[in-house]
Amino acid sequence: MLEFVPTWFWIFFTSMIPWWESRYAIPMSMLYFNWEWWQALPIAVLGNMLPIPFIILFFHYFEKYLRNFKFWANILDWLFAKTRKRANRKIKRYEYLGLVMFVAVPLPFTGAWTGALIAYLFDLDFKKSLLTIFIGVLIAAFIMILVTIAFGNIFGYNFNN
């Protein structure tokens, strides 16, 4: 259906999707598009990181606007409570190391978008947060690359098609 869309764009775009990010876009590129991990990594990480500075810098404007609507205010309250609950101890105790650990674990409701939200909620330094989230994204990407290769080899998937 969308054959006219270049493969690199699929990888770049899907890595911008919250909770999907580069950690799932890279395995998708390896398994579905038959790309090598080293080809997909820079495109996926770039796509993953592109929205992060904007989230950290401008989310307060977005939040202020959405709080004018009860429905969205309730969703934001739920999201912020869930994020604070999951990150509170790690961030208060370890600060930026806690943020790296939170972003690097390739599980649902972790990752760069959630890391940016944590940086916003805990009012962390912009530059340090950006670097920390970038490191976490790289760690998560390499974890998923290793898992994809390991399971691919276990189940006999040929990555060189």
Q: Which of 51-60, 85-94, 106-115, 118-127 has the lowest mean pLDDT?
A: 85-94
- The b-or-e profile of 23-32 (16+ CB within 10 A means b, else e) is bbbbbbbbee
* 136 residue type, one letter: G
Give the pLDDT score at 1. Answer: 54
Annotated domain spans of the chain: 47-154
Model confidence pLDDT, tens digit, residues 89-116: 888 888 899 999 999 999 888 999 999 9
Percent of the chain with pLDDT over 90: 78
Say how far apart CA 27 and CA 116 lie, in whole Å.
Answer: 23
* pLDDT greater than 90 at residue 87: no
Q: What is the 3-state secondary structure (H, E, C) of the chain?
A: CCCCCCHHHHHHHHCCCCCCHHHHHHHHHHHCCCCCHHHHHHHHHHHHHCCHHHHHHHHHHHHHHHCCCHHHHHHHHHHHHHHHHHHHHHHHHHCHHHHHHHHHCCCCCCCHHHHHHHHHHCCCCHHHHHHHHHHHHHHHHHHHHHHHHHHHHHCCCCCCC
Confidence of residue 160 (pLDDT cuts 50, 70, 90): low
Give the pLDDT score at 92. Answer: 82
Residue given tokens 């690199």 in the structure block = 8
Confidence of residue 141 (pLDDT cuts 50, 70, 90): very high
pTM over 0.95: no
Give the pLDDT score at 2. Answer: 67
Average predicted confidence (pLDDT) for the chain: 92
Distances (CA, A) of 17 to 12, 49, 124, 155, 158: 10, 11, 23, 28, 28
Give the pLDDT score at 161. Answer: 56
